[in-house]
Structure 1
Amino acid sequence: MLALVLSMSTAAQAAESGYQSLIISYRTTPAGRPALLDALRTRLAPRLDKLHAKDTLSHYRILFSRLADSQTWDALVVLEFRNAAQSAAWRAIDTQTPGGLDAKSLADTTAVESTISDSIGSGGPFSGGSDPVYMAIPYDYFVSPSEYAAYAHAYVEPQTNGWIKAGALNAYQLYMARYPAGRGWMSMLLLAYHGDAGLDERDAVVAATRKSLASNPEWAAQAQGKHHIRTEKAAMIADRIAGD
């Protein structure tokens, strides 16, 4: 599992080797959602499959929101790069096809946001299991990146591992934007639930896990002070339409 605390030396090494992750969000008009979904399935997914087969891309995931919502994204693409060569290859693609989409696919796309990020924690299978339903929760934080990473290690990880143990969650991955100033989010928690049944159990499992962790002094202290560390933004429910 990726280390949850990023030291300055680790961040420097990541910067030298190329960005580790790229999270791309796409927005369209409500009427444009079917066309965007088709473009992602029939044009972007095959392109990413070829990049993965040629070892030009480590992993990818394409998510599409379940419902139209003008407050946030319609689609989210998560790209994982192993080294600078892989990230450079994507930058070359993006120059010709912004966000990986051709001009026809971009015609009804109203916004594309590409966020260079680092995955600072994960649990469960990378693919999220065989029947994942995803919840993406963006956050802004008010402390230094190292302090936020320490908070995530002490507060977030024990809970998400508890949700996996309870059987509701298949996997999770936590990202931090590398250059967050002015962006729509500073960190993002991507949760892969065990189908709709797992998602339906979310509230009960969260409550039970927090109750069991309350006796841990370190976790309890983080729970009491979390509102001074981060603020939660609008969560999105999405299905994986391609990727591993």
Structure 2
Amino acid sequence: MRRRRLAQGILERLAQTVLAGLPSGILRPDDHIAKQRYIGGKNVLTKGTPEWVSFDVTDTVREWLMYRETNLGLEISVHCPCHTFNTNGDIIENVNEVLEVKFKGVEGDYDESRWDLGRLKKQKEQLFPHLILMMLPPHRIDAQSSSRRRKRALDTNYCFSNYEENCCVRPLYIDFRQHLGWRWIHEPKGYYANFCSGPCPYLRSADTTHSSMLSLYNTLNPEASASPCCVPQDLEPLTILYYVGRTPKVEQLSNMIVKSCKCS
């Protein structure tokens, strides 16, 4: 296992066959405890040729911009059982495959004795780690013109503090073994399922005209029970690695992670 403080890397396999699931992830040191906080991970099916593995760290970088003292860097790790399997899918004891992980754009990627300096410089310039930035469309910029509205907007991915009043995503970490008693999932050990919570005040319930009408009705009639609810809007799948006997299985479970909320 090699670790480097980079947000992207290339996985390259040297052997003929490698375990179907390769759990990898990005972690961030937590502000209050010595442990590192898990941000995300992927199970990669190695194909025998180099390939990019990317992670979306937008939420973490957004938090860094707001609270610079939380910028403690990113760390990426790769975990590989690297077993050799026979034609029946059983592990061959005492025989292991080799997986090489390269992080492009760092010193030592190439042997300068085998390359002329001009070509080496050109190759390195092309392989530096990079960021992909997404611009907001004009109507989104206009709708978020003030910092207060931007902080309170319903389409904000996560609550900015524990005291957030309006509808937004609340973090919820589920440990499969500790919280659910599940031991059959090999990777990941747990994940942030998250949940939606918070009131939907009038003029903020913009999901539909119906939800806006309910919110106005509830505002003018405080004792009424009808009011918009804070519910998940965008959900993402979770990829898990488990074993059936000695055979590894990789499966993607849909709608497992709440990414944003809405009033409906």
> What TM-score range do you get, normalising by the shorter chain?
under 0.3
Q: Which has the higher contact order (CA 8 A, sep 6+)?
A: 1
Q: Under a length normalisation based on structure 2, what TM-score does the superposition of the two structures give? A: 0.23
Largest Rg, 1 or 2: 2
Q: Under a length normalisation based on structure 1, what TM-score does the superposition of the two structures give? A: 0.25
- Bigger fraction of residues in helix: 1
